[in-house]
């Protein structure tokens, strides 16, 4: 028993200490607390104390104890002061006009605001920071992961009753891959997905998104099975790794990756959805679009030491640029555009005249081609101003595409993948390629046709699969897409030389 007098003095002392600390908070605005102080005196910011509704003493103490534990757990011994005024969120950067135009300003779309996203989709556009997968059902069907083109999620065991090994060469936003994971959920145990992307900026976000999809799927399975202590538990990263691996590499390294991981010749389905994702196109700071000002960069892999589009233009001679525009984009005005882009190079000092931004390049191309169209116009019927604008824009798009193909070595790595494909696939394994321009489709067609002739592929799509008119309307970016597929022959004779 503590004598009454001592108890009262303790309370008085306690109250005195509290008053002093409160005065100190008010005077300095700083809450310096050490972990040795009594929990009832610690870690409650002044503002929340003022605002806190009256609570029973014991409950308050429990809450304060919890806050202390949490803070100590995180190794925090200093809390910045909580102002007594309500803090305003930082002001967003202002943009011109009523609606944001730049990728970074479209914060409602980035934050996933449902109303804004619905409005953007209704306009046939892609919300910022997203990518709408193209020919999704058709891809799953030709990959052997769905039994019907119009019923994407019914898995098919047409390849074998063995676990499936699916490779997505171009992960992007993960639109195709998330559906592949769902299909694998219904396939044999041990089925897995390996997904490549060379874009280190986007692959991190996509991997996180797909891990969430995977966790949801695994929870659903566990809950459905209702098995043991694991039911409904969140699986560890290690467990997820078995099923889904994201590889931040160029797909030209696929064969060596598979060899090193003892998976060469075991791939049951392979998807390559070539080109750029919408996130890359729409982000003007990456320099892929001529519609907004941005640096002439155009690298998909920003980590590597590969040169930017600007540096490429600085290095090329007009004849080389002309050949590149003709080869990569079948550009009819290649000669005129090449001399205009590298105009007077060297006369005003090194590279002074080479365009540095996307908009500068677009203007230079338009100014060059406009009079050439007018010359043509005199021989043909008169073109409306709308038609001229369209022709000029498509010329700019072709020029940018040609430069982008060069910067990213797109034809070289596609040729490499097509060459490795027969070694990568298991007998009866399937490959699906989505291409977006004639240079890509020509290569895929040629490789599949030759492989079929040699008995490497048992069948292939001599006719391309195209998006429906509804898909093209809903997602105009799908308009120029062509799907081709091939199935690896199961004949032993068709085996090809080792690629070591």
Ligand X SMILES: C[S@@+](CC[C@H](N)C(=O)[O-])C[C@H]1O[C@@H](n2cnc3c(N)ncnc32)[C@H](O)[C@@H]1O
Cβ atoms of 147 and 156 within 8 Å: the answer is yes
Nearer to ligand X, 184 or 342 (CB): 184
289 binds ligand X (CB under 6 A): no
Query: What x-and-dash track marks residues 386-415 binding ligand X by CB under 6 A?
Result: ---------------------------x--
Query: Segment 298-357, which members bind ligand X (CB under 6 A)?
Result: 300
Of 46-54, 105-113, 195-203, 466-474, which part binds ligand X (CB under 6 A)? 195-203
Nearer CB in complex with ligand X: 246/276: 276
Rule CB under 6 A: is residue 199 a binding residue for ligand X? yes
Tell me how far, at minimum, the Cβ of 94 lies from ligand X, in Å: 31
Compute the least distance from the CB of residue 495 to ligand X, in Å. 26
Nearer to ligand X, 202 or 337 (CB): 202
The Cα 330–Cα 318 span in angstroms is 16
**Using rule CB under 6 A, residue 250 touches ligand X:** yes
Of the chain, the end-to-end C-alpha distance in Å amounts to 85
Residue 160 beta carbon to ligand X: minimum distance, rounded to whole angstroms: 25
Per-residue interface string for the shown chain with ligand X, residues 419-448, x marking contact by CB under 6 A = ------------------------------
Q: Which residue is nearest to ligand X (CB)?
A: 172
- Minimum Å distance from CB 279 to ligand X? 7
- For residue 193, the surrounding DSSP H or E stretch is strand 192-196
Name every residue whose Cβ is closer than 8 Å to that of residue 178 and which is 6 or more positions away in sequence. Answer: 209, 210, 213
Applying CB under 6 A, among 196, 244, 333, 433 the residue interacting with ligand X is 196
Exactly one of 170, 357, 461, 489 binds ligand X (CB under 6 A); which one?
170
CA dihedral 276, 281, 282, 288 (to 10 degrees): 160
- Each as own residue / partner, the long-range contacts of residues 297-303 (CB below 8 Å, 24 or more positions apart, any chain) are 298/400, 298/403, 298/404, 298/407, 298/408, 299/407, 299/408, 300/198, 300/199, 300/276, 300/408, 301/198, 301/199, 301/200, 301/250, 301/408, 302/199, 302/200, 302/201, 303/200
The Cβ-side half-sphere exposure at 410, using a 13 Å CA radius, reads 28
The string over 243-273, giving b where at least 16 C-beta atoms fall within 10 Å of a residue's C-beta and e elsewhere, is bbbbbbebbbbbbebbbeeebbbbbbbbbbb
DSSP category for residue 151: B
133 contributes a contact to ligand X by CB under 6 A: yes
Q: CA 108 → CA 96, 104, 117, distances in Å? A: 16, 10, 8
Q: Could you say which of 109, 138, 197, 297 contacts ligand X (CB under 6 A)? A: 197
Question: To the nearest whole angstrom, how small is the minimum distance from the Cβ of residue 180 to ligand X?
Answer: 10
Nearer of residues 277 and 368 to ligand X, judged by Cβ = 277
- Out of 146, 198, 289, 395, the only residue in the binding site for ligand X (CB under 6 A) is 198
Question: CB neighbours of 10 closer than 8 A, spacing ≥ 6?
Answer: 2
**Residue 236 exposure: Cα atoms within 13 Å on the Cβ side:** 2
**C-beta of 248: minimal distance to ligand X in Å?**
9
**Residue 131 binds ligand X (CB under 6 A):** yes
Minimum distance from residue 195 beta carbon to ligand X (Å): 9
For ligand X, the binding residues (CB under 6 A) are: 131, 133, 170, 172-176, 196-199, 202, 250-251, 273, 275-277, 300, 413
């Amino acid at each position: 028993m503590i004598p009454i007098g001592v108890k009262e003095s303790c309370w008085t002392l306690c109250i005195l200490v509290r008053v002093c600390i409160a005065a100190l908070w008010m005077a300095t605005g700083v809450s310096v607390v050490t972990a040795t102080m009594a929990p009832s005196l610690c870690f409650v910011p002044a503002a929340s104390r003022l605002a806190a509704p009256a609570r029973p003493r014991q409950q308050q103490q429990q809450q304060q104890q919890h806050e202390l534990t949490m803070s100590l757990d995180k190794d925090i011994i200093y809390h910045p002061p909580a102002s007594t005024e309500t803090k305003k969120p930082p002001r967003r950067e202002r943009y011109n006009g009523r609606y944001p135009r730049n990728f970074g300003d479209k914060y409602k779309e980035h934050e996933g605001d449902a109303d804004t996203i619905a409005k953007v989709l209704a306009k046939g556009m892609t919300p910022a920071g997203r990518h709408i997968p193209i020919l999704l059902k058709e891809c799953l069907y030709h990959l052997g992961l769905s039994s019907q083109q119009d019923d994407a999620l019914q898995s098919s065991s047409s390849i074998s009753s063995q676990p499936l090994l699916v490779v997505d060469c171009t992960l992007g936003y993960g639109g195709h891959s998330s559906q592949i994971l769902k299909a694998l959920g219904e396939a044999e145990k041990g089925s897995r997905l390996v997904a490549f992307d060379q874009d280190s900026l986007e692959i991190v976000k996509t991997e996180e998104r797909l891990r969430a999809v995977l966790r949801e799927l695994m929870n659903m399975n566990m809950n459905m099975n209702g098995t043991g202590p694991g039911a409904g538990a969140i699986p560890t990263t290690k467990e997820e790794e078995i099923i889904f691996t994201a590889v931040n590499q160029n797909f030209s390294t696929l064969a060596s990756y598979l060899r090193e991981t003892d998976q060469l010749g075991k791939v049951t389905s392979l998807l390559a959805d070539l080109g750029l994702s919408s996130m890359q196109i729409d982000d003007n700071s990456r320099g892929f679009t001529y519609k907004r000002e941005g640096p002439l960069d155009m690298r998909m892999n920003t980590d590597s030491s590969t040169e930017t589009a600007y540096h490429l233009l600085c290095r090329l001679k007009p004849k080389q640029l002309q050949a590149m525009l003709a080869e990569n984009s079948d550009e009819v005005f290649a000669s005129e555009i090449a001399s205009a882009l590298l105009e007077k190079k060297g006369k005003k000092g090194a590279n002074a005249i080479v365009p540095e931004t996307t908009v500068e390049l677009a203007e230079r191309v338009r100014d060059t081609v406009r009079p050439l169209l007018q010359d043509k116009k005199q021989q043909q019927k008169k073109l409306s101003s709308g038609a001229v604008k369209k022709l000029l824009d498509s010329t700019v798009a072709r020029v940018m595409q040609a430069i982008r193909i060069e910067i990213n070595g797109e034809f070289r790595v596609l040729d490499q993948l097509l060459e490795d494909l027969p070694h990568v696939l298991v007998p009866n394994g399937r490959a699906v390629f989505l291409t977006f321009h004639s240079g890509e489709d020509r290569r895929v067609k040629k490789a599949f046709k030759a492989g079929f002739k040699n008995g490497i592929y048992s069948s292939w799509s001599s006719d391309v699969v195209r998006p429906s008119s509804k898909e093209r309307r809903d997602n105009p970016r799908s308009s120029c897409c062509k799907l081709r597929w091939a199935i690896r022959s199961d004949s032993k004779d068709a085996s090809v030389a080792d690629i070591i």
